[in-house]
């Protein structure tokens, strides 16, 4: 068994971690930033009069796509015209409970975040998301054909929009792999091979996304081009340190500061210029020569009617954990939200504090 002191420490840790996770629960995070009163929908400091819009679409990608879409559908109801959201295979539950446990024998979790609905035999029951929103299960972290078909459905849905249309885009962790729509001449197999090589090389998420954006029709602000001239509201749940919006899900709705030259430099840095698929090499070289269109940059008219809202990130989670620790009587401080590195090394630093 464990000593009373260790038992208390585990209990405190589970309480703090549970509070942190609750702060970034997808549905709760969305409801903190999006509220509806009658025909007025407020998203942070902007108000949208729903009567001004002929059609409302919901699209997106990410591992939290289902609960985010369910929360938004609960606000918009039958105002929704249609929607397609790509999610990781097996991540279709719109409501979920999780528990925090520590140790192999695991002190019992003292906090359970509600909403997993269990049947009589314990199986998870999937409540209806919305009759007009399709969830597409796809591969992650390596993109697959299902993800490509889902991305094509999103592109088709957003084709031919008008100024009186409103589009909501829901992005969360894994969104980049779950929105694979290769540039002309590049196959999904090419992108799969490149993704695998970048993962094995040790490239950072920023480096991987610079390459992904320039091999894609949708990433790096290019989804915003599809939506123009309609209005676009993107709700973002971050899983990236620092939450740079151009990195989360490879930034399909925000300006892209990276260039074809940056993408090529990543391949050179990890010695992939000889082994990367020839179609990708050819496409990047076309971009370097100015023969392929660059991703949209800050100031591009594609972003004139776009609102990007970060609804949750690790900073919010950490602050909630600090608040819970203080409520339990501890002197708690937030040291950093930029922690990266090998767990064994970081653990030594944390212990030294």
106 has a pLDDT exceeding 60: no
Specify the pLDDT at position 23: 87
Q: Minimum mean pLDDT among 102-116, 206-220, 299-313: which range?
A: 102-116
Tokens of 247: 């990195």
> What angle is formed at CA 323 by the lines to CA 320 and CA 328, rounded to 5 degrees?
130
Ordered strands of the 46-49 beta sheet: 34-37, 40-43, 46-49
Nearest to 256 by CA among 214, 284, 317, 287: 214
Phi, psi of 113 (to 5 degrees): -85, 120
Q: Looking at the chain, how many residues does it have?
A: 353
- At 66, list the tokens: 């289902």
Residue 287 pLDDT greater than 70, yes or no? yes
Confidence of residue 107 (pLDDT cuts 50, 70, 90): very low
Tokens 């929105």 appear where? 179
Look at residue 121 and tell me whether its pLDDT is greater than 70. Answer: no
CA 213 to chain centre: 15
pLDDT at 205: 79
Bridge partners of 170?
Answer: 60, 235
Phi/psi for 264 (5° steps) reads: -65, -35
Average pLDDT for 227-254 = 91
- CB atoms under 10 Å from CB of 293, counted, come to 12
With contact defined as beta carbons under 8 Å apart, do 294 and 263 qualify?
Answer: no
Tokens 């800050």 — which residue? 298
The reported pLDDT for the residue numbered 206 is 82
Q: In the predicted model, what is the mean pLDDT of the chain?
A: 88
Integer angstrom CA distances of residue 87 from 69, 122, 131, 133, 353: 11, 23, 17, 12, 39
Look at residue 185 in the predicted model and tell me its pLDDT.
94
Pick 262 or 315 by higher pLDDT. Answer: 262
CA distances in angstroms from 347 to 330, 341, 342, listed in the order given: 20, 10, 8
**The pTM is what?**
0.85
Q: How far apart are CA 41 and CA 168, in angstroms?
A: 12
Going by their DSSP bridges, the two strands 40-43 and 46-49 should be labelled as: antiparallel
Q: Which residues pair with 159 in a beta bridge?
A: none
Q: How confident is the model at residue 114 (pLDDT cuts 50, 70, 90)?
A: very low
Q: What is the pLDDT of residues 46-64, one digit of tens each?
A: 999 999 999 999 999 999 9
Coil vs helix vs strand at 252: coil
Closest-CA residue to 255 (of 326, 206, 304): 304
Contact between 249 and 176 (Cβ < 8 Å): yes
d(CA 114, CA 86): 24
For the residues 325-339, what does the mean pLDDT come to? 89
Residues 6+ apart with CB under 8 A from 342: none
Q: CA 158 to CA 59: how far, in whole Å? A: 9
Assigned token pair, 172: 């969360």
Cα(272)–Cα(283) distance, integer angstroms: 15
Closest among 130, 6, 118, 10 to 66, alpha carbons compared: 130
Neighbours of 323 (CB within 10 A): 16
- Percent helix / strand / coil, the chain, rounded to 5: 40, 20, 45
User: Residue 246 pLDDT more than 90?
Assistant: no
- Residue 99's pLDDT is 61
| Residue 274 CB coordination number (10 Å) | 7
Per-residue confidence (pLDDT) for residue 306, from 0 to 100? 98
């Amino acid at each position: 068994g464990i000593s009373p002191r260790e038992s208390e420490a585990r209990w405190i840790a589970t309480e703090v971690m549970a509070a942190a996770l609750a702060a970034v629960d997808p549905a709760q995070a969305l409801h903190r930033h999006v509220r509806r009163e009658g025909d007025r929908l407020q998203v942070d400091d902007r108000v949208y009069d729903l009567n001004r819009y002929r059609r409302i679409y919901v699209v997106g990608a990410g591992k939290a796509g289902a609960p985010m879409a369910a929360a938004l559908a609960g606000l918009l109801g039958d105002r929704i015209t249609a929607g397609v959201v790509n999610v990781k295979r097996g991540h279709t539950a719109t409501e979920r409970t999780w528990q925090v446990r520590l140790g192999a024998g695991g002190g019992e979790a003292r906090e359970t975040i509600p909403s997993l609905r269990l049947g009589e035999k314990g199986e998870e029951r999937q409540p209806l998301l919305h009759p007009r929103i399709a969830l597409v299960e796809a591969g992650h972290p390596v993109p697959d054909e299902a993800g490509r078909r889902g991305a094509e459905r999103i592109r088709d849905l957003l084709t031919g929009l008008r100024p009186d249309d409103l589009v909501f885009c829901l992005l969360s962790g894994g969104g980049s792999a779950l929105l694979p729509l290769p540039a002309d001449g590049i196959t999904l197999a090419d992108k799969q091979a490149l993704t695998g090589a970048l993962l094995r090389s040790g490239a950072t998420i920023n480096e991987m996304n610079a390459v992904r954006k320039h091999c894609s029709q949708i990433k790096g602000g290019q989804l915003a081009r599809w939506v123009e001239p309609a209005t676009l509201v993107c709700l973002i749940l971050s899983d990236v340190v620092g939450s740079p919006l151009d990195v989360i899900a490879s930034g399909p709705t925000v300006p892209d500061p990276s260039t074809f030259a940056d993408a090529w430099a990543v391949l050179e840095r990890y010695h992939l210029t000889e082994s990367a698929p020839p179609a990708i090499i050819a496409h990047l070289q076309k971009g370097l020569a100015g023969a392929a269109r660059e991703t949209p940059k800050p100031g591009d008219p594609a972003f004139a009617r776009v609102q990007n809202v970060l609804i949750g990130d690790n900073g919010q989670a950490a602050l909630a954990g600090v608040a819970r620790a203080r409520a339990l009587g501890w002197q708690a401080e937030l040291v950093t939200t930029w922690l990266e590195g090998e767990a064994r090394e970081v653990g030594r630093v944390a212990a030294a504090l």
